C-alpha cells in the first residue's frame, strides 16, 4: 500500500508514516529522545547493579556526575548545567520511569574484613567441618541438640530513629530521648527445634541488687562485669547455666570466635556436660549465625516499641537496671519465638543441613579481594583443617568453589584495572541516537531522521564500563600468623595445645635460645624459662649508659686487661709490665712522666 493511501485510510499523518519507515522502529514516541540511547542505558543499568552487588553502590549524585562526564565526552550540546556539572533532576526522574527496576535503598555498612572473609573458600570449609561434626556425633537428624548462642548489646534507650506524626510543613521535629545510654549485654541461646534457653544478663558494675532478678524472664540469671560485656570467667558460668536447660545427651553449640569464648577452661567444663563446641569463622557471623539472621533484628524493633510504650506510662522516662527486666520480659518471648529460631537455622544452612543456603550475592563483595588459595598451605598452617578422615560422601564437590553463571567472564573482566583500549575513538553521540518525530517540520526542510546506530559504532565508543569500572581492593601480602578463629574450628583441648606450641616454636622445633639472645649470643639468665615466661630480659637504660671500666696505658697506648699500678703523684694507672714491676714489689710508684 502506498504511503499516501495508508495515510488517508488509517488517518495517520503522512510524515509520521515516513519517519517510521525511515527509522524501522514500530514504537510510538512522543516528545524528545533521551540523551542516551537504549543500548547505553541498558549498559548503565548493568553497571549500577554490578557495583551494588560487590558492595560499591552508586549514589544518585555520583550517577548524575558520571552521566554528565559521558555527555561532555560525546555530545557537547547536551543541555546539562555547567555550574553543577551533573545531569539534571528531570533526567534522573525520567530515567527511573524508563527503568523501574532501578530503585533507591538504604545501604547497610559492611566492614571490609567481613567483605574479605565471607568467600566461597572459607564458607565451604565451614560446611565441611559442620557436616563432619554432625555425622560424628549423630546429630544430623536431632535438631533439639543443635544450639547457637550469641551476645546482644542492648542500650537503655531507643536503638533506631522513629517515624512520628506532626503538621505538614514542619521540619523541626524532636523526640526527647538520651543519646548515650548504658549498655546491657543479653546472652541468648536457642536450638534448631525452636526452643530458647533462659537468658543471662550482664550488667556493668560490682554490686548486684536482689530485686533486679524479680522482673526478668523465668530462669534468667544476672552477672556483674567491669564493662558490662562477656569475659572468659562469665562464659564458663554461662556454660554451666546452659547445661541445666539443654537436651539430654551430646549437644553441639555453635558460637562466634570472640576472645572470651576460646579458653581451655571452657572446653573442660563443656566436655563434662557433653557439649561439643564449634567456632564460626571470624567476620562471617552476619551470614552464618542463626541469631544474627532472624532474632536480633526483631529484638531491636520490639525493644523500641516497648520503650515508647514505657515512656508513655512513666513520667520520668528513665530506664534503669531495675526497670530493665520489665521491658525485657515482654519482648523476649516475641523475639525468641520458635518461628524466628527455626528460620534462623534454616537460612544459615545448619538445619536442615544445606551448604547452598548462602545465596551467591553474599559472596560478591569478596570478589574484589579474592586471591587463589592452595588447600595444602591451609592444611600446613592449621593442622586441624585436615579432612583426610572424611569420606567421599562427607566432602562437598569442588564445583561449589567455582563461580557459576553467565556473569563469570564479566567478573574477571571487571576485576582488571581500568585501561583505555588501544582502538578507542571518540564518537559523537549525535549519530548514535534516533532523531525525534518530524511531523511538525515544514515540508521543504532538508533534515531527515537518522537510523539507529550499528553494532560497530557501539563497540568503538567508550562505554560506562570504562567510566564506572569495578574497583579492585588491594590486600596486604605481608605474612601474618593465623588467628585461632580464622576458620571454622571444633574447639577441643588439642586446639589450645597446638596453639601454645605454635607460638613458642618455629616449624615444630622449639628454639628457646633465640628468644633471649641477641645477634646469636645466648642470654645466660634462664630462670624465667622454668616459670614459662618467654619474654626477653631487657637491659635497663641505666646499665646501657654506664661507662665501661678503662684499662688504658699511655706508655704502650693500649686498652688491655693487665695488672696495673697507680702513680702516687698524678693518680694515673699504667701496666706493671710496661714499667718492669710485679705484684710482689709493693713500692710507691711514680710514673715516668712525673719522674721526668
Q: Which pairs with CB-CB distance under 8 Å and at least 24 residues apart come from 110-117?
A: 110/55, 110/365, 111/283, 112/473, 113/282, 113/283, 114/283, 114/284, 114/286, 115/55, 115/365, 115/366, 115/368, 115/369, 116/283, 116/366, 116/369, 116/475, 117/281, 117/282, 117/283, 117/284, 117/366
Give the CB-side neighbour count of residue 130, counting CA atoms within 13 A. Answer: 29
Give the CB-side neighbour count of residue 9, counting CA atoms within 13 A. Answer: 6
Q: CA-to-CA distance for 494 and 532, rounded, in angstroms?
A: 19
For residue 594, the model assigns a pLDDT of 81
Q: CA-to-CA distance for 274 and 280, rounded, in angstroms?
A: 19
For residue 557, the model assigns a pLDDT of 75
For residue 467, the model assigns a pLDDT of 82
Cβ neighbour number for residue 563 with a 10 Å cutoff: 11
Q: CA-to-CA distance for 11 and 178, rounded, in angstroms?
A: 71
Query: In degrees rounded to 5, what are phi and psi of residue 76?
Result: -60, -30
Residue 366 CB partners (closer than 8 Å, separation 6+): 115, 116, 117, 118, 119, 120
In 3D, which of 201, 149, 230 has the Cα closest to residue 327?
201
In 3D, which of 89, 119, 91, 96 has the Cα closest to residue 48?
96
For residue 313, the model assigns a pLDDT of 87
In 3D, which of 554, 596, 589, 555 has the Cα closest to residue 569?
589
Residue in this structure with the C-alpha cell 542505558, named with its chain if needed: 41
Residue 176 CB partners (closer than 8 Å, separation 6+): 317
pTM of the full structure: 0.65
Residue in this structure with the C-alpha cell 506532626, named with its chain if needed: 166
| Domains, in order of start, for the chain | 3-106+409-467 (no CATH), 112-161+177-369 (3.30.420.10), 552-595 (3.30.40.10)
Question: Which stretches of 375-469 are DSSP H helices?
Answer: 375-381, 408-414, 455-460, 464-467
Q: CA-to-CA distance for 480 and 514, rounded, in angstroms?
A: 20
CA gyration radius, the chain = 38
Cβ neighbour number for residue 578 with a 10 Å cutoff: 17
Query: In degrees rounded to 5, what are phi and psi of residue 502?
Result: -70, -30
Give the CB-side neighbour count of residue 180, counting CA atoms within 13 A. Answer: 0
Q: DSSP string spanning 519-568?
A: TTEEPS--HHHHTT-----PPPHHHHTSPPPP-EETTTTEE----EEE-T
Give strand pairing partners of 558: 553
Asked if 307 contacts 298 with a C-beta cutoff of 8 angstroms, the reply is: no
Q: CA-to-CA distance for 506 and 204, rounded, in angstroms?
A: 42
Query: In degrees rounded to 5, what are phi and psi of residue 122?
Result: -70, -40
Residues 231, 232, 234, 238, CA torsion sign: positive
Phi-psi region of 269 (alpha: psi -120 to 50; beta: other; left: phi over 0): alpha
For residue 398, the model assigns a pLDDT of 30
Q: CA-to-CA distance for 340 and 320, rounded, in angstroms?
A: 28
Three-state SS at 228: coil
DSSP 8-state assignment for residue 86: B
Full pLDDT tens readout for the chain, 596 residues? 999 999 999 999 999 888 888 888 777 777 777 788 889 999 999 999 999 998 999 999 999 999 999 999 888 788 899 999 999 999 999 999 999 999 999 898 888 889 888 999 999 999 999 999 999 999 999 999 999 999 999 999 998 888 889 999 998 898 888 888 899 999 999 999 999 999 999 999 999 999 999 999 999 999 999 999 999 999 999 999 999 999 999 999 999 999 999 999 999 999 999 999 999 999 999 999 999 999 999 999 999 999 999 998 887 888 999 999 999 999 999 999 999 999 999 999 999 999 999 998 899 888 887 654 433 344 334 433 333 333 333 333 333 333 333 344 344 344 333 433 333 333 333 333 333 333 333 333 333 444 444 433 433 346 788 888 877 776 666 666 678 788 888 998 888 876 555 544 444 444 434 434 444 443 434 444 444 444 444 444 444 444 456 678 877 877 777 888 888 888 888 888 787 787 777 677 788 878 77
Residue 150 CB partners (closer than 8 Å, separation 6+): 187, 188, 189, 255, 256, 285, 289, 291, 292, 296
In 3D, which of 256, 144, 150 has the Cα closest to residue 194?
144
Joined grid coordinates for residue 328: 525485657
| Burial class of residue 148 in the structure, from the number of CB atoms within 10 Å of its CB (0-12 exposed, 13-18 middle, 19+ buried) | buried
Amino acid at each position: 500500500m502506498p504511503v499516501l493511501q495508508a495515510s488517508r485510510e488509517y488517518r495517520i499523518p503522512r510524515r509520521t508514516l515516513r519517519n517510521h519507515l525511515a527509522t524501522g522502529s514500530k514504537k510510538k514516541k512522543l516528545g524528545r529522545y533521551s540523551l542516551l540511547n537504549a543500548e547505553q542505558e541498558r549498559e548503565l543499568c548493568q553497571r549500577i547493579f554490578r557495583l551494588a552487588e560487590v558492595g560499591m553502590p552508586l549514589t544518585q549524585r555520583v550517577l548524575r556526575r558520571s552521566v554528565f562526564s559521558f555527555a561532555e565526552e560525546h555530545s557537547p550540546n547536551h543541555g546539562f548545567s555547567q555550574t553543577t556539572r551533573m545531569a539534571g533532576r528531570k533526567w534522573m526522574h525520567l530515567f527511573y520511569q524508563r527503568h523501574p527496576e532501578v530503585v533507591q535503598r538504604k545501604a547497610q555498612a559492611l566492614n571490609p574484613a567481613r567483605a574479605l572473609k565471607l568467600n566461597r573458600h572459607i564458607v565451604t570449609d565451614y560446611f565441611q567441618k559442620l557436616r563432619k561434626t554432625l555425622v560424628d556425633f549423630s546429630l544430623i537428624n536431632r535438631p533439639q541438640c543443635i544450639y547457637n548462642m550469641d551476645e546482644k548489646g542492648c542500650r537503655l534507650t531507643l536503638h533506631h530513629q522513629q517515624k512520628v506524626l506532626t503538621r505538614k510543613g514542619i521540619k523541626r521535629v524532636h523526640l526527647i530521648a538520651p543519646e548515650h545510654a548504658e549498655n546491657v549485654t543479653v546472652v541468648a541461646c536457642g536450638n534448631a527445634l525452636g526452643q530458647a534457653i533462659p537468658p543471662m544478663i550482664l550488667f556493668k558494675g560490682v554490686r548486684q541488687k536482689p530485686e533486679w532478678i524479680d522482673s526478668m524472664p523465668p530462669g534468667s540469671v544476672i552477672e556483674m562485669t567491669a564493662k558490662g560485656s562477656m569475659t572468659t570467667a562469665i562464659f564458663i558460668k554461662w556454660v554451666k547455666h546452659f547445661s541445666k536447660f539443654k537436651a539430654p545427651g551430646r549437644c553441639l553449640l555453635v558460637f562466634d570466635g570472640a576472645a572470651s569464648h576460646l579458653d581451655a577452661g571452657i572446653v573442660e567444663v563443656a566436655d563434662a556436660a557433653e557439649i561439643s563446641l564449634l567456632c564460626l569463622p571470624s567476620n562471617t557471623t552476619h551470614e552464618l549465625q542463626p541469631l544474627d539472621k532472624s532474632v536480633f533484628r526483631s529484638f531491636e524493633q520490639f525493644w523500641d516499641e516497648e520503650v515508647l510504650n514505657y515512656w508513655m506510662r512513666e513520667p520520668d522516662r528513665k530506664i534503669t537496671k531495675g526497670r530493665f527486666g520489665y521491658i525485657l520480659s515482654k519482648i523476649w518471648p516475641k523475639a525468641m519465638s520458635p518461628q524466628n529460631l527455626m528460620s534462623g537455622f534454616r537460612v544459615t544452612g545448619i538445619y536442615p543441613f544445606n551448604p547452598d543456603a548462602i545465596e551467591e550475592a553474599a559472596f560478591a563483595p569478596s570478589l574484589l579481594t579474592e586471591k587463589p588459595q592452595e588447600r595444602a598451605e591451609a592444611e600446613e598452617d592449621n593442622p586441624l583443617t585436615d579432612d583426610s578422615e572424611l569420606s567421599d560422601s562427607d566432602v562437598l564437590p569442588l564445583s561449589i568453589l567455582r563461580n557459576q553463571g553467565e556473569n563469570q567472564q564479566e567478573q574477571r573482566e571487571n576485576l582488571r584495572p581500568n585501561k583505555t583500549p588501544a582502538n578507542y575513538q571518540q564518537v559523537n553521540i549525535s549519530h548514535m541516537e534516533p532523531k525525534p518525530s518530524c511531523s511538525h517540520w515544514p515540508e521543504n526542510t532538508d533534515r531527515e531522521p537518522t537510523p539507529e546506530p550499528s553494532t560497530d559504532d557501539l563497540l568503538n565508543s567508550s562505554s560506562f564500563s570504562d567510566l564506572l569500572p569495578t574497583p579492585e581492593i588491594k590486600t596486604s601480602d605481608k605474612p601474618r600468623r593465623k588467628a585461632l578463629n580464622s576458620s571454622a574450628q571444633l574447639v577441643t583441648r588439642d586446639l589450645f595445645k597446638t596453639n601454645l606450641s605454635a607460638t613458642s616454636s618455629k616449624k615444630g622445633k622449639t628454639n628457646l635460645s633465640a628468644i633471649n639472645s641477641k645477634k646469636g649470643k645466648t642470654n645466660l639468665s634462664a630462670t624465667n624459662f622454668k616459670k614459662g615466661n618467654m619474654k626477653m630480659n631487657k637491659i635497663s637504660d641505666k646499665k646501657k649508659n654506664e661507662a665501661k671500666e678503662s684499662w688504658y696505658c699511655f706508655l704502650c697506648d693500649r686498652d688491655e686487661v693487665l695488672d696495673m699500678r697507680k702513680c702516687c703523684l698524678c693518680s694515673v694507672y699504667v701496666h706493671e709490665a710496661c714499667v718492669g714491676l710485679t705484684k710482689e714489689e709493693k713500692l710507691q710508684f711514680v710514673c715516668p712522666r712525673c719522674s721526668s
